[in-house]
Amino acid sequence: MATLCSGDTFSQRTGMDFTLTKYGELIDAIKAAGYQFMTFEQYLDSAKLLEDKKIVILRHDVDKRARNSKATAELETERGAVASYYFRVVKQSFQPSVIHTIATMGHEIGYHYEDMSLCHGDVDAAMRHFIKWLDYFRNMYPVRTICMHGAPQSRYDSRDLWRSRPDGQKAYNYHDYGIIGEPYFDIDFGTFLYLTDTGRCWDGYKVSVRDKIPEHQDEWIRRGWSFHTTDDVIRALRGESQGEPLPDKIMFTTHPQRWSNNMPEWITEYLLQSVKNVVKRILIATR
Ligand SMILES: [Zn+2]
């Protein structure tokens, strides 16, 4: 294994992906390609004025190891980028000091909700849980956007809170609670390309249970917008890939827990995700 002595050459020395260094290279490539960074709420506030602008929304789903998100937030701030950070209510994600620090850097904070899974599919209990936790978050940040946690091991899809109900009751509407957007409902993926590191690669739609946009995936593949490594994405941003030029609007979703320059942490994430991908393939095959 190569000697790891300099942070800024870590990825190059080792050829390792999903390091903080590699994440910095990705942010630099997005900037160099002429994209402007906006948080999800900033974008929704002025979407009509941005139709011919190149916009990237950096979305972070903080599933666990919340402190890692401080590192990505600092890296973004150093590079003049803003991002949207979504935190869960479980203790490995909901860490008020981390949330507060990231908010003071100018990033957006949102609720990574999974109330349907936590309340075992009881829609009304899940809605009460949602309102209670939204209030907690709003003690730290005036939360205006939310984003579903995929919870692949759960049989419940938390987006069902907002969908028509089998019992005939009217579905809940997050707009009634001061929420202006949920990416899966309020982003036009006919305009936005969606790239996510789910599965610890950029073509994880093959193993993802819920974090994917199946309606558009075939079209994106046809255009050559399916990537495996972060270097593949960077090459496309530089116009060095075989595919069509990337569109003017992209949402990147990353999970900060897996972007680390800490070797034991990096190896743990690598091994765990390899096992999880096998399990997810089985889950998808048996649904
Ligand atoms: Zn999540």
pLDDT at 153: 80
Residue 5 has pLDDT above 70, yes or no: no
pLDDT at 234: 97
State in Å: Cα 61 to ligand 1 middle: 5
State in Å: Cα 71 to ligand 1 middle: 18
State in Å: Cα 243 to ligand 1 middle: 29
Q: How does residue 1 score in pLDDT terms, banded at 50, 70 and 90?
A: very low
pTM of the model: 0.90
State in Å: Cα 5 to ligand 1 middle: 33
State in Å: Cα 1 to ligand 1 middle: 32
State in Å: Cα 6 to ligand 1 middle: 31
Give the tens place of pLDDT for each residue, 93-106. Answer: 999 999 999 999 99
Give the tens place of pLDDT for each residue, 119-156. Answer: 999 999 999 999 999 999 999 999 999 999 988 788 99
Residue 2 has pLDDT above 70, yes or no: no
Cα distances from 183 to residues 14, 75, 92, 138, in angstroms, run 35, 24, 23, 19
Give the tens place of pLDDT for each residue, 190-239. Answer: 999 999 998 889 998 877 778 788 889 999 999 999 999 999 999 999 99
State in Å: Cα 84 to ligand 1 middle: 13
State in Å: Cα 63 to ligand 1 middle: 5
Residues forming beta bridges with residue 85, ordered by sequence position? 60, 109
State in Å: Cα 21 to ligand 1 middle: 23
Q: In the block, which residue shows the tokens 């949207």?
A: 84
> What is the DSSP secondary-structure string of 90-122?
STTT--HHHHHHHHHTT-EEEEEE-HHHHTTT-
State in Å: Cα 133 to ligand 1 middle: 16
> How big is the CA angle at 242 (ends 238 and 246), to the nearest 5 degrees?
50
pLDDT at 12: 53
Name residues whose C-beta falls within 8 Å of residue 176's C-beta, 6 or more positions apart in sequence.
Answer: none
Q: In the block, which residue shows the tokens 């707009």?
A: 175
